[in-house]
Amino acid sequence: MAVAYDPRLPEEIADPFPSFARLRAEDPVHWSEILGGWVLTRYRDVRAALADRRLSADRITPFRDHLDLRQRAEVADLLATLGMWAVFNDPPDHTRRRALLNKAFTPRVASLRPTVAAIVERLIDGVAGRAEFDLIADFAYPLPATVIAGMIGVPAADLDRFKRWSDDIAVFVGSALATPDKRGRAERGVHEMREYFRVMLAEHRARPRDDILSALIAPEEQGKGLSEDEIVASSILLLFAGHETTTNLIGNGVLALLRHPEELAALRVAPQRMADAVEEMLRYDGPTQAMTRIALEDVEFEDASGAPRRVRRGDRLFLLLNAANRDPEIFAEPERFRLARRDNRHLSFGYGPHFCLGAPLARLEAEIGIGALLRRLPRLALAEEPPAWSDSFVLRGVKALRVSAARSADRRRG
Ligand code: HEM
């Protein structure tokens, strides 16, 4: 049975979960004329699709194929850069680029705890005396952006420019539903970012340091690493993937906490449960709502009655992680926000070969960041309900989250 579903409606953007439940139960392999693709909402389908080699992560080639030569020239930097992002690549490019990026990125995460804690304390110092502040602009954005800039090896002083560029790219990559001139904005953002990183790369080549850019350059020079264009593209990917999503984890997570006072109170008295709490925040209202795939051949899924539905070669699929994360087949009381939930196998970081490279970093930042907010701001409360949600189908988060803090606690306590 077909279900009416229009993800562009403001009420769907604010609260998509009732529609997700209807789709999962009645039309789990839903054809959306509006999105121009299949919408999958059941946990088992979404997870299987994420690991299915017949479904390609490369949505840049089909996008380019739709454009004429003049249009391609207008978005040349965008196509070249996104085409080198591991997240949009299939094997063998994906395997090689991910492995090299992983080698430069992952070993740095373990030692970051004191750096993250220091940034968190400084950001809270900045808001603690204020009656009200915007949790996104004053905390959830600058925390991951500062951390990833430091890891890559770009000056924190340039963060404002990164924010502008990343916002421009996000309207394109995040499938903004109602923003005009998406391509033009994204092309400008990518173009300026490429110019910026080329200069940075030259500086790092001349004077290597202990950061990701230097680590990516070293094997390049022995002919075994990423090319210069790939290093630039991968740095932009890390910078982009490394903050928008984590900002939204902190934003959506704190919003859920403040809307569930009993859960919040329980966490305040048992802060050692923060790791489990972050997993539930990821499941309950994850920052990455939908992943896109393109079918390389015909693939069948079952509809609600068990009858086969055929996805044709070339069709686009939207895998709704946030719908899968509330599938009653997998999660008890899935619509409830329960911080003590066990065996929380949510799909918010994806699954299979593209599983999020930054998951350990995102978890670390959220645990330390939200933990410190609760410890230092004992009266944290929502100052505005409901908040305004961003116009995006892929990235789910609020534009701003006004909170009141009333009075700050002494930072030495706890
Ligand atoms: C809460 C925060 C985050 C969420 C929810 C998230 C989510 C995801 C998801 C769902 C994917 C899979 C994409 C796909 O299957 O098409 C992914 C991939 C990726 N993420 Fe994250 N991410 C987060 C934070 C980060 C951070 C902090 C970084 C790096 C600094 C990062 C870097 C990446 C990279 C490089 C990939 C591509 C991996 C690949 O294609 O092999 N992410 N992320």
Grade residue 171 by pLDDT with cuts at 50, 70 and 90. Answer: confident
Neighbours of 305 (CB within 10 A): 7
CA distance 350 to 368: 23
Residues 79/72, Cβ–Cβ less than 8 Å: yes
Question: Pick the residue with more confidence: 407 or 128?
Answer: 128
Calculated CA dihedral for residues 84, 88, 89, 94, nearest 10 degrees: 80
Cα 288 to averaged position of ligand 1 atoms, centre (Å): 9
Query: Which protein residues are within 6 Å of ligand 1, measured from CB?
Result: 50, 57, 86-87, 98, 148, 237-238, 241-242, 245-246, 249, 286-288, 291, 348-350, 354, 356-358, 361-362
Residues 24/320, Cβ–Cβ less than 8 Å: no
Measured from the Cα of 353, ligand 1's closest atom is 41
CA distance 81 to 26: 39
pLDDT digits (tens, 9 = 90+) for 35-51: 999 999 999 999 999 99
Grade residue 163 by pLDDT with cuts at 50, 70 and 90. Answer: confident
Domains and CATH numbers, the chain: 10-404 (1.10.630.10)
Which residue's entry shows tokens 């048992």?
A: 270
pLDDT of residue 413: 42
Grade residue 234 by pLDDT with cuts at 50, 70 and 90. Answer: very high
Q: Whose CA is nearest to atom 34 of ligand 1?
A: 357
Q: Whose CA is nearest to atom 27 of ligand 1?
A: 242
Mean pLDDT of 91-111: 96
Phi then psi for residue 54, to 5 deg, are: -80, -10
Q: What is the mean pLDDT of the chain?
A: 93
Measured from the Cα of 88, ligand 1's closest atom is 40
Short-list 372, 128, 382, 354, CA closest to 259 = 382
Measured from the Cα of 234, ligand 1's closest atom is 35
DSSP-derived secondary structure letter, 272: G
Which structure tokens are listed for 146?
């500062």
Amino acid symbol at 112: L
pLDDT of residue 167: 84
Mean pLDDT of 147-151: 95
Candidate from 154, 245, 284 with most ligand 1 atoms within 8 A of CB, to mutate: 245
pLDDT digits (tens, 9 = 90+) for 183-223: 888 899 999 999 999 999 999 999 999 999 999 998 776 77
CA distance 301 to 335: 25
Cα 348 to averaged position of ligand 1 atoms, centre (Å): 9
